[in-house]
Amino acid sequence: PNTIYLEDYQPPAWLISHTKLRFELEEEQTLVRAQLSIQSNPAARDKRMPLELFGDEGMELCRLSIDGQILEACDYQREAGYLRINNVPDTFVLECVTRLLPHENTTLEGLYKSDGMFCTQCEAEGFRRITFFPDRPDVMSVFSTTLVADKCLYPVLLSNGNPVDSGEDDDGRHWVTWDDPWPKPSYLFALVAGDLALLEDSFTTLSGREVALRIYAERKDLDKLDYAMQSLKNAMRWDEEVYGREYDLDIYMIVAVDFFNMGAMENKGLNIFNTSCVLAHPLTTTDQGFQRVEAVVAHEYFHNWSGNRVTCRDWFQLSLKEGFTVFRDAEFSADMNSRTVKRIEDVTLLRTAQFAEDSSPMAHPVRPESYMEISNFYTLTVYEKGAEVVRMLHTLLGAELFRQGSDLYFERHDGQAVTTDDFVAAMETVSGRDLTQFKRWYSQAGTPRLQVSDQYDARACEYRLTVRQSCPPSPGQDHKQPYHLPLALGLVAEDGTELYAGLLELTGEEQEFCFDNIKQCPVPSLLRGFSAPVKLEYDYSDAQLLMLLRHDTDGFNRWDAGQRLSIRLLQEQMQRYRDGQPMVCSEALIEAWRQLLNDTALDPAMLAQCLRLPSEAQLSELAEQIDVAAIHAAREFMRTSLAAALEQEWLQAYQRCDTNELYAPDADAVGRRSLKNLALAYLVATEREPWLALARQQYQQSDNMTDQLAAFALVAHSDDRETAEELLQAFYQQWQHESLVMNQWLSVQASDPRDGALERVVALAQHPVFDMRNPNKLRALIGAFCGQNAQHFHAEDGSGYAWLAGWILQLDQQNPQIAARLLTPLTRWKRYDPVRAGQMQVQLQRMMDTTELSADVYEVVSKSLM
Ligand code: B3K
Ligand code: ZN
């Protein structure tokens, strides 16, 4: 595969003003007739370039003409992925007929079938599997699309924009024409054809425009669409209020499909969603599931401005739309629910998974410099770290200037395809600031490290803080320049009084800050709200952390103080485990947790966050060399010690939160359930008989999936095999016809830490509910085993690695994007002991030695072995 470089960017030689498409959808084939109105681009570097269109090799070209003149085979060249036509006029209409086989398309890119309905996925480069086209985001065109299909099988025919015409043919077929007035790149094109049920509602925009809101799904799921609809309306209102952005078409549609490579897709006016991100019902969806639906519905809606009206010039700019939109959806979720809890969840994801990516062979800047396969760059770095970069701009400028900058960005670039530099330039204009150094966040990979030390002069009432920043090397970047970053901090007295709160700006490699008139020696509360995506080091004493856990006025840092303390204690136990010494659980920690648990004034959601030990994945990220067994042993030891020591408190917390309220997915109720189920998990961890019975009782009496699933997982993983098997069977019987619930059933079993885990997942892959063509099933089984069952995935004999590699090789033939995704755990081999690292390398090499790897898998494997 070729490597594409940012520095090679050239403006397109040809532009398309209008794209007219006609799809003849049939069972055995689809014919696509495309009429492209083409002009040479006045802004192109070289004039008189041949016309080059992208087109997938598997696509059959049936007919090609220019201004009505049929082209013969000698008039054009078809090469791997391209069609080249020499000697074309300056302005002309190209007509092209292609033949596709959607029912055989297992890549879930381009036009394919999901459970009998036709649908599309074009981002990033799927449109070239539909027709020959300048399939790049800086070519924007107006689309007009006609769909023709059997009326009984496909009564619903959808595309972008507004329906403008329709009719019926004599042969039982019907057709609908859709016009999308807004110029868009081909990656935002979509069509859907199927027998779909519909939930309809409407929204009146700020300026009084009436918008029809339509959510489509299979008939059996019609009762699971209300929450998505409510979330959509909330998002539309929020974007008007917070960003002044209104919707711009008469119809907004969402379609739920079961076969989908990722969460959802923001196609103009016609979002296509993975069922897992749109269907929600109390009986089948957990609280987490509800919150994901709310967040993803909002995210795709927000793209209408940040992504669609203003799009990316090239795919290196992906974070322009994704980082900004993730920031927008995170703020929306924070406003709809608990701001601090949302921040804690996002930072946990960043610290666990993005930091790990940042130190892996696939590490890349938020704006990558090169890629082989762009699908591999829809990453935590581009999305989540990208959102942190936007958040830092928000922090540095303040909410008001940031809003002005966003207004200016949309105004300047409406209808354009632009770069992250353009985004920052708008922020520079409104603030009058020079953000040149800040832009290193876009160009440098790796997680910066902040080392903080301090000094207090009691006589002068002077407190000095010294901050040193550095950033480790990453592939292709040995030396990093210092970053410009906001460091929010507070100074807290021993008794909890806040002596100072403010924002510092770091630009140098080492900087000293002096605070006057500080009357007692303070404890610094650093990086409040996680004001920059860095690793912070400061030599806190246990007592200081306990004080911050009790008194910090910044909720995020309260939680973070507790995490730091837990991490330190866990790391000590890991060392003891390795040294063969007995592990111990700190009395101070137990007492601190007891106080938290007894403090009934605390918000249950926050309390649950504070009483959750850092995950094995996070402890792994922090380790010099990952010792899977020590991490697991230490964490289990702490968990069971805290469970036993605080048994009464856990029970009280459980009872306090076990209110008999009707299910609602609002922040308060979600918080109570999260504390309740955390308490139940600790109770069960005591291995005392009554608590497993309590879990079983909760399983039977719950009226919602959150409580049912939490209890189910605890029993399913317990040593009481009789009850466990009974529940596994009962759960299956109850939910076997709910595909999304069956994903949970698979995941619970795949993450079961008891012996024999690999044998169990091998057997489950043969179970009728498993379907290797469905990405949700693959994530539920393979993803969960490799990601949430470290003990067994990392078995020293390499059996887990070999199993995964076997899957990757098989899946690569069918769906390269998913294959490359699932491969991630093996790319981390350098972090493990020599035996495991060697075993992982063997599997990577095994893949490398296979002929015919996709570009997706080849890129990940080859970079990992470098
Ligand atoms: N933009 C899509 C992701 C497309 C991924 C293509 N491999 C969803 C989103 O971020 O909203
Ligand atoms: Zn997005």
For residue 447, is pLDDT > 90?
yes
Tell me the per-residue pLDDT of 467-477, one tens digit each, with 9 for 90 and over. Answer: 999 999 999 99
- C-alpha span between 159 and 25 (Å, rounded): 13
Residue 502: its pLDDT value, please?
98
Residue 590: its pLDDT value, please?
98
ipTM of the complex: 0.99
- The number of the ligand 1 atom at minimal distance from the alpha carbon of 322 is 10
- Mean model confidence pLDDT for the chain: 98
Matching residue, tokens 């600790």: 682
What is the arithmetic mean of pLDDT over 389-411?
A: 99
Residue 546: its pLDDT value, please?
97
Tell me the per-residue pLDDT of 702-713, one tens digit each, with 9 for 90 and over. Answer: 999 999 999 999
Phi, psi of 208, rounded to the nearest 5 degrees: 95, 10
What is the arithmetic mean of pLDDT over 249-266?
A: 98
- C-alpha span between 252 and 202 (Å, rounded): 9
Taking the centre of ligand 1 as the mean of its atom positions, its distance from the CA of residue 261, in whole angstroms, is 9
Band (421; pLDDT cuts 50, 70, 90): very high
Taking the centre of ligand 1 as the mean of its atom positions, its distance from the CA of residue 265, in whole angstroms, is 5
- The number of the ligand 1 atom at minimal distance from the alpha carbon of 383 is 10
Band (121; pLDDT cuts 50, 70, 90): very high
Band (70; pLDDT cuts 50, 70, 90): very high
Residue 38: its pLDDT value, please?
98
Band (407; pLDDT cuts 50, 70, 90): very high
Pick from 497, 482, 491: nearest CA to 451: 482
- C-alpha span between 237 and 231 (Å, rounded): 10
**What CATH number does the domain located at 4-195 have?**
2.60.40.1730
- CATH fold, domain 449-539, is Immunoglobulin-like (2.60.40)
**Residue 779 is inside which H or E element, if any?**
none
Tell me the per-residue pLDDT of 509-538, one tens digit each, with 9 for 90 and over. Answer: 999 999 999 999 999 999 999 999 999 999
Pocket probe for ligand 1: among 128, 262, 380, the residue whose CB has the most ligand atoms within 8 Å is 262
Is residue 124 reached through a cis peptide bond, with omega within 30 degrees of 0 on the bond before it? yes
CA distances from 200 to 228, 229, 253, 254 (A): 11, 8, 9, 11
Which residue stretches of 244-338 are H helix? 287-302, 318-336
Helix (H, G, I), strand (E, B) or coil at 775: helix
Angle at 342 between CA 347 and CA 234, to 5 degrees: 140
Q: Which bound ligand lies closest to the C-alpha atom of 185?
A: 1
Tell me the per-residue pLDDT of 750-774, one tens digit each, with 9 for 90 and over. Answer: 999 999 999 999 999 999 999 999 9
Band (45; pLDDT cuts 50, 70, 90): confident
Band (271; pLDDT cuts 50, 70, 90): very high
Taking the centre of ligand 2 as the mean of its atom positions, its distance from the CA of residue 265, in whole angstroms, is 7
Taking the centre of ligand 2 as the mean of its atom positions, its distance from the CA of residue 322, in whole angstroms, is 5
Residue nearest to atom 7 of ligand 1 (CA): 375
Taking the centre of ligand 2 as the mean of its atom positions, its distance from the CA of residue 235, in whole angstroms, is 15
Question: 168: burial class by Cβ within 10 Å (0-12, 13-18, 19+)?
Answer: exposed
Residue nearest to atom 9 of ligand 1 (CA): 265
8 A C-beta contact, residue 197 and residue 277? no
Tell me the per-residue pLDDT of 848-861, one tens digit each, with 9 for 90 and over. Answer: 999 899 999 999 99
Tell me the per-residue pLDDT of 428-442, one tens digit each, with 9 for 90 and over. Answer: 999 999 999 999 999
Q: What are the beta bridge partners of residue 486?
A: 505
Band (113; pLDDT cuts 50, 70, 90): very high
Residue nearest to atom 5 of ligand 1 (CA): 123
8 A C-beta contact, residue 361 and residue 473? no
Taking the centre of ligand 2 as the mean of its atom positions, its distance from the CA of residue 625, in whole angstroms, is 34
Cross-sheet strand order for the sheet of 210-217: 197-204, 210-217, 251-257, 270-274, 264-265
**Residue 329 is inside which H or E element, if any?**
helix 318-336
Length of the chain: 866
- C-alpha span between 556 and 270 (Å, rounded): 37
Residue nearest to atom 6 of ligand 1 (CA): 123
8 A C-beta contact, residue 702 and residue 728? no
What is the arithmetic mean of pLDDT over 731-757?
A: 98
Matching residue, tokens 């350098």: 830
Taking the centre of ligand 2 as the mean of its atom positions, its distance from the CA of residue 232, in whole angstroms, is 15
For residue 46, is pLDDT > 90?
no
Taking the centre of ligand 1 as the mean of its atom positions, its distance from the CA of residue 323, in whole angstroms, is 12
Pocket probe for ligand 1: among 120, 188, 257, 266, the residue whose CB has the most ligand atoms within 8 Å is 266
What is the arithmetic mean of pLDDT over 548-562?
A: 97
Of all residues in the chain, the percent with pLDDT exceeding 70 is 100
8 A C-beta contact, residue 293 and residue 231? yes
Residue nearest to atom 1 of ligand 1 (CA): 265
Question: 629: burial class by Cβ within 10 Å (0-12, 13-18, 19+)?
Answer: middle
User: Alpha-carbon Rg of the chain, whole angstroms?
Assistant: 28
User: Which residues belong to CATH 2.60.40.1840 in the chain?
Assistant: 449-539
Q: Which bound ligand lies closest to the C-alpha atom of 263?
A: 1
What is the arithmetic mean of pLDDT over 188-214?
A: 98
Half-sphere exposure of 616 (CA within 13 A, CB side): 22
Catalytic residue numbers? 300
Residue 106: its pLDDT value, please?
98
Residue 49: its pLDDT value, please?
87
User: Which residues belong to CATH 1.10.390.10 in the chain?
Assistant: 311-443
Band (239; pLDDT cuts 50, 70, 90): very high
β-strands 162-168, 91-100 pairing: unpaired
- The number of the ligand 1 atom at minimal distance from the alpha carbon of 303 is 11
Pocket probe for ligand 1: among 120, 265, 327, 377, the residue whose CB has the most ligand atoms within 8 Å is 265
Residue 394: its pLDDT value, please?
99
Residue nearest to atom 8 of ligand 1 (CA): 265
Pick from 259, 228, 382: nearest CA to 818: 259
- C-alpha span between 271 and 297 (Å, rounded): 9
Pick from 432, 426, 419: nearest CA to 405: 426
Tokens for 370, please give them.
Answer: 């090169």
Which distant-in-sequence residues (6+ apart) come within 8 Å of 343 by Cβ?
334, 529, 530, 556
- C-alpha span between 641 and 686 (Å, rounded): 8
- C-alpha span between 480 and 443 (Å, rounded): 10
Pocket, ligand 1, Cβ cutoff 6 A: 123-124, 262, 264-266, 299-300, 303, 322, 375, 378
CATH superfamily of 311-443: Neutral Protease Domain 2 (1.10.390.10)
Residue 317: its pLDDT value, please?
99
Residue 48: its pLDDT value, please?
77
Helix (H, G, I), strand (E, B) or coil at 617: helix
Ion ligand 2 neighbours (CB, 5 A) are 322, 325
| Secondary structure string (H, E, C) spanning 697-757 | HHHHHCCCHHHHHHHHHHHHCCCCHHHHHHHHHHHHHHHCCCHHHHHHHHHHHHCCCCCCH
Of all residues in the chain, the percent with pLDDT exceeding 90 is 99
Beta strands in 471-534 (DSSP E): 485-492, 498-506, 510-515, 523-526
Residue 357: its pLDDT value, please?
98
- The number of the ligand 1 atom at minimal distance from the alpha carbon of 374 is 7
User: Which residues belong to CATH 2.60.40.1730 in the chain?
Assistant: 4-195
- The number of the ligand 1 atom at minimal distance from the alpha carbon of 300 is 11
Residue 851: its pLDDT value, please?
87
8 A C-beta contact, residue 799 and residue 758? yes
8 A C-beta contact, residue 513 and residue 454? no
β-strands 462-470, 510-515 pairing: antiparallel
8 A C-beta contact, residue 562 and residue 569? no
Residue nearest to atom 4 of ligand 1 (CA): 123
Residue nearest to atom 2 of ligand 1 (CA): 265
- The number of the ligand 1 atom at minimal distance from the alpha carbon of 375 is 7
CB 369: neighbour CB atoms within 10 A? 16
8 A C-beta contact, residue 96 and residue 132? yes
Q: Which bound ligand lies closest to the C-alpha atom of 375?
A: 1
